[in-house]
Amino acid sequence: MDARLKTSLWLQYGAALDTLEDAMNLCPDNLWTVQLWADADDSRYGQFWYLTYHTLSWTDLFLGGSYEDFKPPAPFVRGKLPDQPYTKEQIYTYLKSVRAKAHTIIEGLTDEQAYQPLILEWMQAPYVEMLMYAMRHIQEHAAQLNMVLGEKGVTGQDWVAQARDRVS
């Protein structure tokens, strides 16, 4: 795959992750469990910490390319809520891991890998499209998190034009 295209893809993917990281870093402890919306299954699904975790776990899943084989790293558990919210430190460590994984994958992406079909229950697309799909997912939730921070009087949110660094 063209090196310039991979660089551009990384700079935007990394910027999306930086935006999510900024929201996490700006979140004061008293808002870590604030509810962004009501969820009929469990109110915790609408909380700040969970939305951050959800974003990262799905990003990790998309990077791995397999829904069936995906298992998040400990202490995270797929398919159920923990007894206590994950801490900022736990999720920040996960973010750094996902960022490094994304950078490595994008940096090493070949044409064959990029156009390998990825089949999910609701969608089938080439792997490179799933990378873009995941990037949109990160941006959507980072925007939601930043919006609730702004509504609660937290300032400091800013547009991230490109990844802050070219390496993980």
Q: What is the CATH number of the domain that holds 83?
A: 1.20.120.450
Instruction: Report whether pLDDT(166) > 80.
Output: no
Q: Are 48 and 145 in contact (CB under 8 A)?
A: yes
pTM for this prediction: 0.94
Cα 68 from Cα 30, distance rounded (Å):
36
Give 18-60 pLDDT, tens digit per residue. 999 999 999 999 999 999 999 999 999 999 999 999 999 999 9
Give the residue numbers spanning the domain of 49.
3-151
What is the torsional sign of CA 145, 93, 161, 126?
negative
Examine residue 166 and state whether it is found in any structural domain, yes or no: no
Cα 11 from Cα 118, distance rounded (Å):
23
Examine residue 31 and state whether it is found in any structural domain, yes or no: yes
What is the torsional sign of CA 44, 16, 5, 73?
negative
Query: Percent of the chain scored above 70 by pLDDT?
Result: 98
Give 93-138 pLDDT, tens digit per residue. 999 999 999 999 999 999 999 999 988 888 899 999 999 999 999 9
Examine residue 38 and state whether it is found in any structural domain, yes or no: yes
